[in-house]
Amino acid sequence: MGSCLTAEQRPAAAAAVGPGGKAGEGRRKEEEALGRIAGSGVGNAACLFTRQGRKGTNQDAMVAWENFNGRPDTVFCGVFDGHGPHGHLVARKVRDTLPSKLRDLIYEDYGESPMSNSDGSLLEETPSPYADAEDKSLMAGQKGEHREFFNSMKDSFRKAFRVTDKELKLQRNIDSICSGTTAVTLIKQGQDLIVGNLGDSRAVLGTKNQNGLLVAHQLTVDLKPDHPRESRRIKRCNGRVFAHQDEPDVARLWLPNCNSPGLAMARAFGDFCLKDFGLTSVPEVTYRQITEKDEFIVLATDGVWDVLSNQEVVDVVGSCSDRSFAARSVVDLANQSWKFKYPTSKTDDCAAICLFLDNYANADGFSESSVTRKGVGSSPSMSARSRNPKRKSKKVIPEDADEGSDSNISGDERSLESFTRLNTLLTLPKFGDISPTKK
């Protein structure tokens, strides 16, 4: 469950042939060895860093997989925030299995080059039908096979998440009845970006505005129980949504007849005691076409976003002279902010991935001396907090909004900039008080 070894560190025989002796399995293992980082480290395109908080075991997990699906222009990134007694095990299990399942589904549907035609030429750049209204309008007049392709990519994300969740329930060594994890994941292939989000971790894009200033653009919606669409689904399933009197700003999902467990998110892997009452593992999937103004993407768990705004995180990354320290700089600042804003609370675990979008062409990228698999060196001293005024993030229109819902609603303002969810799981369920119905 730690970082995968590089190709040089693995036995040659293991890299060449899989356990079953199939060449395809060996090729996939070799791809994994060449580009996968699971834990704090630095690669060609991304840097990763996590730090344990003061609540116990670090329940955050993350992975960056370059050369994903056998393509040098493709990378998979994901951060996972576990919660509950066995949340760390759930987060690591999902980290280790979800990317491979997603890759296998893409292989199954498209072969080795999912975004290319049968002759090897790239598909025309076509907006996805599952982004926002503007992107959907651009789909008019496009060929049916392109629309079908992007719908298939969305289906691949959903299938991978669903299968991962089902298999998690069957794990005998991981009790996920009252434990789970969030997930914010992405696949960047060329100029195409597909994001799959589950829970309240977040992806933020650092991009240049018309004045050349670096600004934050939020790519995901924090899927909390009080989000209008999420709340409607939960109530239809007889779940309850309310905030505990001790945490008036933290809406939670509760069982219908018992004030436990109180889960501060509306979508998650695991937490099977709540799956019949509105909690779902279906991700929200969106598409964006990367432009030359887009600089980097930051994926981080809510331990970061609870104390830092989108713009503060983007400013921190943009100010790093050495990109290999970017993720650590974000986590360092988040830890400092926890101590300042919540001096009586236990610091949450923090994990961040910084994916740079121009990594293959930028000469000022990572230096060889800074590349490590574990434990990036000490970060440079942080300058004063951002001098730029806070900017509201552009609203993200949910791809799978309920029919009849307001498509312009991206959630309560608290889901974008608030400092909430000091505890993900408030209490454990009292199974003697309830008898959940089985579907």
pLDDT at residue 174 greater than cutoff 90: yes
Residue 156: per-residue pLDDT = 93
Question: C-alpha angle with apex 266: 263 to 269, nearest 5 degrees?
Answer: 85
Residue 244: per-residue pLDDT = 87
Distance CA 333, CA 304 (A): 9
pLDDT at residue 428 greater than cutoff 50: no
Edge-to-edge order in the sheet of strand 251-255: 240-243, 251-255, 258-263
Residue 122: pLDDT band by 50, 70, 90 thresholds?
Answer: very low
More confident residue, 365 or 160: 160
How confident is the model over 292-301, as pLDDT tens digits? 999 999 999 9
Least confident among 32-36, 38-42, 190-194:
32-36
Residue 124: pLDDT band by 50, 70, 90 thresholds?
Answer: very low
Q: What is the mean pLDDT of residues 226-237?
A: 94
Least confident among 13-27, 89-103, 125-139, 248-262:
125-139
What is the dotted CATH code of the domain comprising 26-222+281-363+407-414? 3.60.40.10
Confirm if 213 and 388 have CB atoms less than 8 A apart: yes
More confident residue, 68 or 258: 68
CB atoms inside a 10 Å sphere around CB 169: 13
For the record, the structure tokens of 434 come out as: 């309830």
Which of 116-125, 161-170, 353-362, 385-394: highest mean pLDDT?
161-170
CA dihedral 399, 402, 405, 406 (to 10 degrees): -10
How confident is the model over 49-67, as pLDDT tens digits? 999 998 889 999 999 999 9
Distances from the Cα of 176 to the Cαs of 83, 121, 179, 183, 197, in angstroms?
A: 10, 44, 5, 15, 20
- How many residues are listed for the chain in this entry? 439
Q: What is the 3-state secondary structure (H, E, C) of 387-401?
A: CCCCCCCCCCCCCCC
Distance CA 223, CA 322 (A): 33
Q: Is the dihedral of CA 208, 211, 214, 220 positive or negative?
A: negative
Residue 360: per-residue pLDDT = 44
Residue 152: per-residue pLDDT = 76
Residue 378: per-residue pLDDT = 35
Residue 7: pLDDT band by 50, 70, 90 thresholds?
Answer: very low
How confident is the model over 380-400, as pLDDT tens digits? 334 333 333 333 333 343 344
Tell me the domain boundaries of the chain: 26-222+281-363+407-414
pLDDT at residue 180 greater than cutoff 80: yes
Interior/surface letters 9-39, b for 16+ CB within 10 angstroms, e for the rest: ebeeeebebbeeeeeeebbbbbbbbbbbbbb
How confident is the model over 318-375, as pLDDT tens digits? 999 999 999 999 999 999 999 999 888 888 999 999 999 985 434 343 333 233 333 3
Q: What is the mean pLDDT of residues 153-173?
A: 93
Residue 374: per-residue pLDDT = 37
Residue 280: pLDDT band by 50, 70, 90 thresholds?
Answer: very high
pLDDT averaged over every residue in the chain: 74
pLDDT at residue 198 greater than cutoff 90: yes
Residue 55: per-residue pLDDT = 85
